[in-house]
Amino acid sequence: MSYAAHRKDFAPYFAKLQARQNNHPVNVGFWRRLLEAISNSRRSRAERQIARFIEDRGGHLTDEIERELMRHMTASPYYWGMRL
């Protein structure tokens, strides 16, 4: 059995862009801003650690460095000698 989508199932791309541009910023609550700040901080810290890890091993991302990075990021902190 096959299905052919009706044209009404699809919204035009430009309408979404116009709708997005016309929206006024929504007031965001304190807790949402706090959680986003914590999330952004953790993300940037992880990105810095990954950049430092790659730079310490020559600055080029190779298959071996990628495997070592995955082992490093998914292993227990105690395995790498870090005490949390």
Q: How many domains does the chain fold into?
A: 1
Please tell me the distance from the alpha carbon of residue 84 to that of residue 82, in angstroms, as a whole number: 6
Per-residue confidence (pLDDT) for residue 73, from 0 to 100: 78
70 lies in some domain: yes
Per-residue confidence (pLDDT) for residue 16, from 0 to 100: 55
Please tell me the distance from the alpha carbon of residue 6 to that of residue 20, in angstroms, as a whole number: 24
The one-digit pLDDT tens for each residue of the chain (84 residues) are 566 666 666 666 555 555 555 555 668 789 999 999 999 999 998 889 888 888 988 888 889 988 988 888 787 766 656 554
46 lies in some domain: yes
84 lies in some domain: no
The parent domain of residue 67 ranges over 28-77
10 lies in some domain: no
**Would you put residue 3 in left (φ > 0), alpha (ψ -120 to 50) or beta?**
beta
Residues 6+ apart with CB under 8 A from 72: 53, 80
Per-residue confidence (pLDDT) for residue 74, from 0 to 100: 82
